[in-house]
Amino acid sequence: MSEYDDAPKANSAPASQIWGGRFESGPDQVMDAINPSIDFDQRFFAEDIAGSRAHAAMLVAQNIISAEDGQAIDQGLQEIAAEIAAGQFTFLRSLEDIHMNVEARLKDKIGDAAGRLHTGRSRNDQVATDFRLWVRAAIDAMDGQLQALQAALISQADRHAATVMPGFTHLQTAQPVTFGHHMLAYVEMFGRDRSRFADARQRMNQSPLGAAALAGTSFPIDRHATAAALGFDGPSANSLDAVSDRDFVIEFLSTAALTAVHLSRLAEELIIWTSAQFNYVRLPDGFTTGSSIMPQKRNADAAELIRGKTGRMVGALNALLVTIKGLPLAFNKDMQEDKEPLFDAADTLSVCLAASIGMINGLTVNAGAMRASLAAGFPTATDLADWLVRELGMPFRAAHHVTGSLVKMAEDKGQDIADLSLAEMQSVEARITADIFAVLTVDSSVASRTSYGGTAPENVRAQVAAARRRFLDGAA
């Protein structure tokens, strides 16, 4: 007898009720910690049950299971969905995932007929189907929130089509623009984000159900029927691909990360604009916080948190790319790590969108501070150079040099260009006339920018109307 015969076994648990026929004993206790996914994939319960109901109905229609069993399965699944929705369902980690928790409960309800539900499918195609249904619904929800954010931005643009402010490059005053024009820039960004989500939704809308473990099934199933029942455009064309790729999740995370980057840029501007040094805008009280020691503080914490949470969403994308990059076909257990980053990113993006909508809807603009800040930085210098080109026929590079000399003169005198005398201007370029002063006001500057997409107030008003048609009314 070996000296180890009487030693305690590493694992004396019974074989798993899910896959135990192949094994004499159950998994090590460490596997109880690392293996189950039910703690997070229970979020798929509605999608899982919808897929099972569609699969059962198809099995009946194909005479693979009896109508009686199909009816019992469907009724039991509806009851389970109600239990979970009401918080009356006990999820068991010993059953690993949402699929087996539902199936075990179904067996409690209807007996052995529950075991017929898994005919012609695998947990591999089940989870891929659930996942696509969940991501599809998440995309639809994101689109609604992005549209609401666009509506808030468009409303601000409409109110402030003629409110002048500095336009910046390198965070230095460049040229005058209108606040409405600035808001419409973000409308366009979020419009492209919506388009990317829509593209991802279209590509992912193929049903994996019936691909089974990886090779399809010998049962005479109808994958087109289950695809149609679940709102897919059709079944996936290759069973290996159907269960092994998560590119649709990566596309969602990629678009979510880019959307978050756009939100972060908007948040950064709100943080800058609400500072005492700028004082361009005021955020609603509900999206700001105070200080525990400095009673004067009014911090743009919601915007700062959006800026910070963007890193989490970028990280979720990187995490899944790294997880998938080395996996051979078909399914690998590594793919269980695809859900938590997605759930976290989707939840985070949703709350960031909600905060952004609230901030923009409640934003008030300090038009006086915006206009006052245009007194610094020579914002009409380009207008002067354009006048020299247009009226005197100068090459732009020569006009640029003359304008630079006049800016230097004004800077040395502590004045704006418009405060220079005509004589002083003519000392640099003798052909300058008094007409130059008409183009050196910020209002004339923005009014002159009438090229398509420019900042002229009449343009902004036209673009507001166009944006409402494109993004809010559903017109092309």
State the catalytic residue, choosing from 2, 170, 292, 421: 170
Encode burial over 272-292: b for 16+ CB neighbours within 10 A, e otherwise. Answer: bbbeeebebbebeeebbeeee
Q: What is the rounded radius of gyration, in angstroms, for the C-alpha atoms of the chain? A: 31
452 CB contacts (<8 Å, ≥6 apart)?
459
**Do 290 and 298 contact (CB within 8 A), yes or no?**
yes
**Do 179 and 206 contact (CB within 8 A), yes or no?**
no
Query: If DSSP codes are grouped into helix, strand and coil, which group holds residue 3?
Result: coil
Rounded to an integer, what distance in angstroms lies between the CA atom of residue 17 and that of residue 101? 12
**Would residue 291 show up in a list of annotated catalytic residues for this protein?**
yes
State the catalytic residue, choosing from 66, 195, 275, 291: 291
Rounded to an integer, what distance in angstroms lies between the CA atom of residue 262 and that of residue 306? 10
56 CB contacts (<8 Å, ≥6 apart)?
65, 70, 73, 74, 77, 117
Rounded to an integer, what distance in angstroms lies between the CA atom of residue 317 and that of residue 338? 10
Rounded to an integer, what distance in angstroms lies between the CA atom of residue 139 and that of residue 116? 33
Q: Maximum CA pair distance of the chain?
A: 114
For 144, other C-beta atoms within 10 Å of its C-beta total 12
Instruction: Please state at what angle helix 247-273 crosses helix 301-324, rounded to 10 degrees.
Output: 160
Helices (H), 18-116: 29-34, 38-41, 45-61, 67-85, 98-110
Which residue in 192, 317, 159, 200 sits closest to 262, CA to CA?
192
DSSP tally for the chain: helices H, then strands E: 18, 6
For 329, other C-beta atoms within 10 Å of its C-beta total 12
Rounded to an integer, what distance in angstroms lies between the CA atom of residue 343 and that of residue 445? 48
List the catalytic residues.
Answer: 170, 291
